[in-house]
Amino acid sequence: MTYCVGMLLDSGLVFASDSRTNAGVDHIATFRKMTVYEKPGDRLLVLMAAGNLSITQGVINLLDEDPSAEIGETIWNVPSLYAAARLVGSALRKIYEIDGGYLKQHGEEFIASIILGGQIRGEQPRLFNIYAAGNFIEATAETPYFQIGESKYGKPILDRLITRSSTLDEGAKCALLSFDSTIRSNISVGLPIDLLCYERDRLRVDVRRSIDQQDPYFCEIKRQWAEGLRETFARLPDPCWGEKLDPI
C-alpha cells in the first residue's frame, strides 16, 4: 500500500510519500514513491505515484522520453504544469496500451493514481491529481491538498488543520502527523517518509528529507501531538446523561 499527500499553499508546495510496497504479506519491500525533476531556475516538478508499481514505474521511464515521438516534449521542456500533467496522462495511456490487455488476462485491474505538482518559470505553483485513465484534475483555491493511496486515516487531521494560508512549516508538520495517524492504523504504509518542501518562485528544492523512525524531529512532534491529544481528551467535560432514555 502507499500513502502520499501533496499540498498547494500560498507559500508553496509540500509533498510527502511513504516507502512501503507490498504484494502480499510475505512480499514487502521499500520503494520510493516520489520522483523529483529539478532544473534550478527553470522548473521543479515532483511526481508521487500509487497503484500497481509496474505501471507507475513504466510511466516514470516514459517521462524522460517523448511519448508522442513527434512534438519533442518531455518533462524537462514542457512549457507548463498543465502540459506536464498531459504528458503523464499520455504515458499512462501508453502503458495501458502495452500492458492493459495482459493485466486483464490475469485478472489484474489497471490501478494507478498520480500526484504531480511544482512550478515552471513564468507560471504559478500548481498541483494535479492524475487518474489511471490519463485524465486529471487541478487543485483550485478551495483545495489545499490531494491524497492518493491509503488516504482515509490521515484525512481528518488535514481537514482540520490545513488551509491555503498555512505556512510551509505548518504544512510539513501536518503532513508528518497525517502519516503518523496512517502508519498507526495501517501496517502496510511504512517509513521512511520522503518529504519535500518547495517555497514558491524559488525554482529549486530547498528541503528534501528522508524521515525514518529515528528522526529526532518526527519523534518529538509525534510525542508532543500524542500527549496534547490525550491532555485535550482528558479535559473534555464528562457527559451528564440524566435519566431520560431516547427512543432508538
Q: Is position 30 an interface residue for its own copies (rule: CB under 8 A)?
A: no
Nearer to its own copies, 141 or 234 (CB): 234
Helix (H) or strand (E) segment spanning residue 38: strand 34-39
Task: Tell me the window of 111-119, 127-135, 137-145, 204-212 that interacts with its own copies (CB under 8 A).
Answer: 204-212
Reduced to 3 states, what is the DSSP secondary structure of residue 113? strand
| 241 binding its own copies? (CB under 8 A) | yes
Which residue's CB is nearer to its own copies, number 18 or number 90?
A: 18
- Chain residues 137-176 in contact with its own copies, contact rule CB under 8 A: 152-157, 159-161, 169-170, 172-174
* Of residues 128 and 218, the one with the C-beta less far from its own copies: 218
Q: Which region, judged by CB under 8 A, interacts with its own copies, from 88-96, 101-109, 124-132, 191-199?
A: 191-199
In the bound state with its own copies, the residue whose beta carbon lies nearer, of 67 and 154, is 154
Exposure string over 26-50, b if 16+ CB within 10 A, otherwise e: eeeeeeebbbebbeeeebbbbbbbb
Asked whether the beta carbons of 91 and 59 are under 8 A apart, the reply is: yes
The two beta strands, 112-120 and 145-149, are unpaired
Distance between CA atoms of residues 44 and 175, nearest Å:
20
Is there binding between residue 214 and its own copies (CB under 8 A)?
Answer: no
Q: Does 184 bind its own copies (CB under 8 A)?
A: yes
Q: Is 201 in the site for its own copies (CB under 8 A)?
A: no
- Cα 29 from Cα 164, distance rounded (Å): 35
Hey, what's the cell of 122? 513564468
Long-range contacts of 138-143 (CB under 8 A, 24+ apart): 138/82, 138/85, 139/8, 143/8
Give the nearest distance from C-beta 11 to its own copies in angstroms: 13
Output the nine-digit C-alpha cell for 168. 510551509
Q: 116: which 3 cell numbers? A: 504531480
Instruction: Tell me the closest approach of the beta carbon of residue 215 to its own copies, in angstroms.
Output: 10
Q: How far is the CB of 98 from its own copies (least distance, A)?
A: 27
CB of 218 to its own copies, least distance (A): 9
Name which position in 21, 32, 131, 138 contacts its own copies (CB under 8 A). 32
Exposed, middle or buried by CB within 10 Å (0-12, 13-18, 19+), for 208? middle
Instruction: For the CB of residue 5, give the shortest distance to its own copies in the complex, in Å.
Output: 14
Contacting residues toward its own copies, per CB under 8 A: 32, 34, 36, 152-157, 159-161, 169-170, 172-174, 177, 181-182, 184-185, 194, 196-197, 205-210, 217, 220-221, 224-226, 228-233, 235-241, 245-248
